[in-house]
Amino acid sequence: MTTLWPELVTTAAAETTAVLDKGAGLDWRRPAGDLDWQCRATLDHIALGVVGYAGLLIAQPTDRYITLFASIDQAAPIAHCLEAIRISGSILASAVREASPEVRSWHPYGHSDGPGFAAMGVLEMTVHARDIALGLGFDWSPSDEMSAPVVERLFPDAPAGFRPAETLLWCTGRTELPGLSRRRNWQWNGAVR
């Protein structure tokens, strides 16, 4: 089955926004899960990263990150700040849709293509949404349908035999799996295969 990457990105953005909206009235100064960042800083990281992936696809640098940095209004209420996820997701989905299959761009974890950057964006949104949700006091995980193509595209060495969402969380150092301890050092492989 072929993954429709632009649609997966916009779906991830919508789901991430919906789940985080449940905690919009809570204290976002709390740590986001096990991260060193607060929930609010993690939200900024999501928006910056996802817009950055779109920028990389558009600018196509071969040896560096792009010079555009997106940010969220620090004075805006969280409920309004959450629109940054939908906006950045839409920008990335559009860039992925418009990128030809031959497009390659620099990333420190491997020069990548449209599907690779889409997978990175989905990972950023869903895994960090889980971090924020845990920091705010509720449990949420990305769906298996959302996780499976990301694991397949970015983690070619992922262990088999587990649900895709569990595998994604293990690959990103968020949890352990039966017989596999939690990863302390990890990175994805964005290279085109």
Domain boundaries, the chain: 5-171
Average pLDDT, the chain: 96
Average pLDDT over residues 169-181: 97
Q: Which of 21, 11, 77, 73 is nearest to 47 (CA)?
A: 73
**Residue 59 dihedral angles phi and psi, to the nearest 5°:** -75, -30
Cα 64 versus chain centre, distance: 20
| pLDDT confidence of residue 79 | 95
Q: In the structure, how many helices (H) and strands (E) does the chain have?
A: 7, 0
Residue 64 has pLDDT above 70, yes or no: yes
Helix orientation angle between 164-171 and 114-136, rounded to the nearest 10 degrees: 90
0.95 exceeded by pTM: yes
146: left (phi over 0), alpha (psi -120 to 50) or beta: alpha
**DSSP code for 62:** S
**pLDDT at position 1, please?**
54
**pLDDT interval class at 193 (50, 70, 90):** confident
Q: Is 81 helix (H, G, I), strand (E, B) or coil?
A: helix
Residues 64-84, mean pLDDT to the nearest whole number: 94
Tens of pLDDT along 148-161? 999 999 999 999 99
Q: CATH topology for 5-171?
A: Four Helix Bundle (Hemerythrin (Met), subunit A) (1.20.120)
Q: Return the pLDDT at 70.
A: 86
The whole-angstrom separation of Cα 154 and Cα 109 is 10
Residue 118: pLDDT over 90: yes
Element (H, E) at 135: helix 114-136
